[in-house]
Structure 1
Amino acid sequence: MKFLIAFLALIAPASAVLGNQVALDSQVFVERSAEQADGSVTVTLEEPTRVVPGDNLLFVLTYQNTGAEAAENFVVTNPMPEAVVFGEAIDSGAVYSVDGGTVFGPLAELRIAEESGVERPAHAADVTHIRWTLTEPIPAGESGQLKFRGIVR
């Protein structure tokens, strides 16, 4: 039970206003798959009232320009909760960090230094942060979403 409470505290929806112009809200859902009588599979999104290792999560970051002018060069950096292994970014343009948010780049280009000093390619389990940079201005009043998946450790 402690794990569930600590996990939910990490992923509880949070709101922030960036630069007093772009509001950011985050939500997380558990993706549940169910096989139907005809053999097809239906995926539903549920509130994370109970999560267990192996559960698939969908993180949804919604941004809205609350200012009177277009917001330019908007950057969202999202830390990965420690209880979650990164799965995939649904939106293109994401870059990743495997060092606590210091260096970002495509996952295929990042490396991890082992305790022995030998470097290896970074894996999804190494991701500590995800970053998106929106190159197109966000018009006043407009909103959008960024999404990524993870798996409960």
Structure 2
Amino acid sequence: MKRILIATLGSVLIATAPAVAAAQTNPVELIGDVKVDKIVVENGKEKHVLVEPGVVVPGDALLFTTTYRNAGATPIKDFVVTNPLPDAVQLAPQGADQLVVSVDGGKTFGKLTTRRVTGSDGAPRAAVEADVTHIRWVLPVLAPGASGALSYHAIVR
């Protein structure tokens, strides 16, 4: 059985839009986290439990979360959070249709249903979850002190 160790979150953390990243003092705090989504049976009922990742294996379900907070004194308009998907995972189907994604290394973004890739036969085809390379959220206005969380589900390849 192939094992994958999620060693650090450094490779899965957040990149912000160039205009935001270029700012010398960025008042937005971003923290990335990943949990394993385990299904356990409790009192005869299945229940999802999020646990710290240790060794994960292909097929394991993960939940990636980015928490944000505007620690500054002024609102920030159109704040962009872009998460590259680690090579060891693919986007899970649940919620994928609600996300804005890239299948070309973060060059262009849109709903998965609008993305196209070149298949192994050289012909264009509709993109699927396994083709996603990045996920992007745009927060229209991030008021001073505002905070929240952005998340997506993934599956270990």
- What is the TM-score normalised by the length of structure 1? 0.85
Letter of the structure 2 residue corresponding to residue 24 of structure 1: L
Q: Distance in 1 between matches of 2:11 and 2:49?
A: 19
Q: Distance in 2 between matches of 1:32 and 1:112?
A: 32
Shift, 1:90, TM fit? 5.0
Q: 2:5 aligned with 1:9, yes or no?
A: no
Q: 2:146 aligned with 1:145, yes or no?
A: no
Aligned to 2:90: 85
Q: Distance in 1 between matches of 2:41 and 2:65?
A: 25
Counterpart selection for 1:134 from 135, 139, 143? 139
Partner SS state of residue 82, structure 2:
strand
Aligned to 1:27: 33
Q: Distance in 1 between matches of 2:123 and 2:14?
A: 40
Bigger shift: 137-146 or 18-27?
A: 18-27
- What is the TM-score normalised by the length of structure 2? 0.83
Counterpart selection for 1:73 from 54, 73, 78? 78
In structure 2, do the counterparts of structure 1 residues 4 and 104 end up closer, same or farther at CA, with 3 Å as the change threshold?
Answer: same
8 Å CA contact retained: 1:97, 1:129: yes
Letter of the structure 2 residue corresponding to residue 41 of structure 1: E
In structure 2, do the counterparts of structure 1 residues 14 and 104 end up closer, same or farther at CA, with 3 Å as the change threshold?
Answer: closer
Shift, 1:15, TM fit? 7.6
Report the RMSD for the aligned CA atoms in angstroms: 2.6
Shift, 1:16, TM fit? 8.0
User: Unpaired runs of 5+ in structure 1?
Assistant: none
C-alpha distance after superposition, 1:88-109 (max 9, x if no partner)? 5759963111110111111001
Q: Percent identity?
A: 42
Q: Distance in 2 between matches of 1:91 and 1:115?
A: 23
Counterpart selection for 2:45 from 36, 40, 46? 40
Shift, 1:4, TM fit? 3.1
User: Unpaired runs of 5+ in structure 2?
Assistant: none
